[in-house]
Structure 1
């Protein structure tokens, strides 16, 4: 994390996260708070990851973990957000989970708890966030190009129907 000033929003974000886990807020409330952060505020997400780790209760060793197929399906259904620089961070949001990562550390948060991620997994999930964003931009650019071509074609047709002024 850079030495840049981190606004004191981390306790409020942690409180919102805990409210979601307690059923007093929705996941979308939490996501809205996180996505309201500016692109240069990745340090806030990094500080939130650390705050979540500091507040984690020990997990029983028999805790139920999703199968590899279920985990993959959850990841593939996620929405993503990236805070690029100077403090990179990523967010993945699924139907019932939230993943925060900065490429070195991360956490998976569910209604029933949270768990830290190994650094190798945190790095992979940061790449997944970036890939989802790049893919979305590519799709948006392709759709924009198609809309521009349609507009040009429709303008050409309508312009050809205009009678010249003599």
Structure 2
């Protein structure tokens, strides 16, 4: 809410959430519960208090495709999706979408879908990281073996 009031930068909000350890999802649940109590949940997803706040399906698709994600582990699963314009905090039962100057709760069915999206993005990123790590390890081994083979043996 401090970001919404202009008291802190968006990155400070994201940084505070990212620093919550993966096994402490209960902290994220508390933040989410507090946000959902403060935010108007009656208006449809995408409606807002300022002009241009309504986002059509193609804009949402682009926003979600550009998201970075963070997930907290069982038993207190929660997720954070950070897009170019929105910050989404979600668990399997409730969620809130925060934009500069506007915030909306999401219906339970949407919260579940967003949580699955968040977990999918995290798993995909982990797979890419593992593949890149293996490629770097392979390059290091190849470069080491090549350089060692070029050394003249000592007799």
What's the TM-score, normalizing by structure 1?
Answer: 0.83
**What residue in structure 2 maps to residue 45 of structure 1?**
28
> Which runs of at least 4 in structure 1 moved beyond 2 Å after TM superposition?
57-64
**CA deviation digits over 1:73-128, x for unaligned, max 9?**
00111110000122000000112211011111111111222111111111111111
Compute the displacement of 1:58 (Å): 6.7
**What residue in structure 1 maps to residue 6 of structure 2?**
23
**CA deviation digits over 1:5-46, x for unaligned, max 9?**
xxxxxxxxxxxxx22112221110001100111111111111
Q: CA RMSD in A?
A: 1.7
Distance in 1 of aligned mates of 2:73 and 2:43: 35
**What residue in structure 1 maps to residue 131 of structure 2?**
142
Tell me whether 49-58 or 109-118 shows the greater mean CA deviation. 49-58
1:131 to 105, 115, 120: 120
2:90 to 101, 105, 109: 101
Compute the displacement of 1:151 (Å): 1.0
Give secondary structure in 2 for the equivalent of 1:82.
strand
**What residue in structure 2 maps to residue 121 of structure 1?**
110
1:36 and 2:25 aligned: no
Cα 1:133–1:162 change in 2 (3 A) is same
- Give 5+ residue unaligned stretches, structure 1: 1-17
**What residue in structure 2 maps to residue 75 of structure 1?**
64
- Give 5+ residue unaligned stretches, structure 2: none
1:162 and 2:154 aligned: no
Aligned residue pairs total 149
What's the TM-score, normalizing by structure 2?
Answer: 0.89
